[in-house]
Amino acid sequence: MADDLGYGELGCTGHATFRTPVLDGLAARGLRFIDYHSNGAVCSPTRAALMTGRYQTRAGIEGVVTAKSHRDTGLALEESTLAEELGAAGYATALYGKWHLGYSPDFNPVHQGFDEFRGFVSGNVDLFSHIDQVGMLDWWHDDTLRPEPGYVTELITDHAVRFVTEHASEPFFLYLPHAAPHYPYQGPHDAGYREVGDPKPVGGVVPDKARAYREMVESLDAQVGRILDTLDELDLRDDTLVIFCSDNGGTGRHGSSNGPLRGKKGQFYEGGHRVPCIVSWPGRIAAGRVSDEPVMSIDFAPTLLRLAGARESSATDGVDLRGHWLDGAPVVERALFWRRSSQGRYAVRRGGWKLHRSSKRADLELFDLRADPGETTDLASAHPERVSALLAEYEAWESEVTAGVQPRAK
């Protein structure tokens, strides 16, 4: 999982500036989605949805679990996670990279089903010193702080290669949520600039942020290549399902691109949540396929658990994508929802129609995404019946998913 990678930033999605030969090749040999959506338009909500297979609203995580204001909260331990269920089915499990679902050791990934964790728990860190936004060291060995030298993108991969090698003879689930290309913008040859206790906000002293951003994306691509090479060397590639995606849309700054889509990270226009997604499984998923079926982060959990023959929670909101991945069967039609209640923003989609509200006081907008994926033309006044139907569907969903939920990150 990339962090803040926009829809238009890979070669295979039409961004000609960045060199991403590994991911382009992965798409050519697998299934590329052009209508895949992160559950959130910012970091933590998507991660909560991915781990639980449920709308993040049910866990009370609609916003960012921040280093400044949410250090005592996180994803509830009562939530059933993908790692817990795969672990119970005999899989070795590991997470290397960004957790962002709880700062306290009580909420650490090793208490949420992962056998191993190396990485950081905040939203972003200096990629060299691993200092977070409020000046605290944030690099963990399981639930213990333990400094470790290295550029984060490469360090994540070092651990991943070790894990795959050590567990080559058994089933494994490896979750690699990268820091790139989220700020601070630091390429692999730049230098870290934060120290413990540093009060200044995370930003960057690198003068050419566009250059650093490009290097971050290209470094991420190269590190994905190291994982794939390891699978090849161990003769595991045909037995391993590989998924690549992003947690939300790009920021639109320093070379970040959401392609032809309107909006950016933090918004519920398409640019905020329609992101790259590639699924590859040689011999099982036909090469070179492109899917325009609308799918979401919550769909991974039920699909992977059923592929693994693992137990699945009856509370799952996602749908099983096995038939679509393996045989090209259509995905069952359902409504898709996004919400940020503290800001009065939401969106609901059914089929090609999407109803959108950008703030508490904003008018409702209606878009026909099949004809207008860039959301250039508001059709609300022309189709009041569709507005009413989608609004009723959203309100019914909102009532159901918020019943009894205590917000953890608004």
Q: What are phi and psi of 229, to 5 degrees?
A: -65, -40
Kindly report the backbone phi and psi dihedral angles of residue 197, in degrees, each rounded to the nearest multiple of 5, phi listed first: 85, -5
Q: Which helix (H) or strand (E) holds 350?
A: strand 345-350
Rounded Cα gap, residues 319 and 303, in angstroms: 7
DSSP 158-215: HHHHHHHHHTTTS-EEEE----TTSSS---TTS-----TT--SPS----S-HHHHHHH
Widest CA span of the chain, in angstroms?
A: 60
Contact 221/189 with Cβ under 8 angstroms?
Answer: no
Asked if 43 is an active-site residue, the reply is: yes
Q: Which position among 15, 37, 70, 100 bears the catalytic label?
A: 100
Q: Please pick, among 37, 43, 254, 356, the residue that the annotation labels catalytic.
A: 43
DSSP string, 231-249: HHHTT-GGG--EEEEBSS-
Number of C-beta neighbours around residue 352 at 10 A? 14
Tokens found for residue 294 = 């609308």
Cα of 237 vs its chain's centroid, Å = 23
383 is catalytic: no
Vertex 75: Cα angle to 47 and 342 (nearest 5)? 80
Torsion sign across C-alpha atoms 123, 128, 134, 139: positive
Query: Do the Cβ atoms of 162 and 92 come closer than 8 Å?
Result: no
CA 133 distance to own-chain centroid: 20
How far apart, in Å, are the Cα atoms of 320 and each of 90, 120, 204?
21, 31, 42
Q: Which amino acid, 340?
A: R
Kindly state the tokens that stand for 144: 């213990």
CA torsion through residues 213, 219, 223, 225, sign: positive
Q: How many CA atoms lie within 13 A of 325 on its CB side?
A: 24
Residue with the two structure tokens 């393996």: 326
Catalytic residues: 43, 100
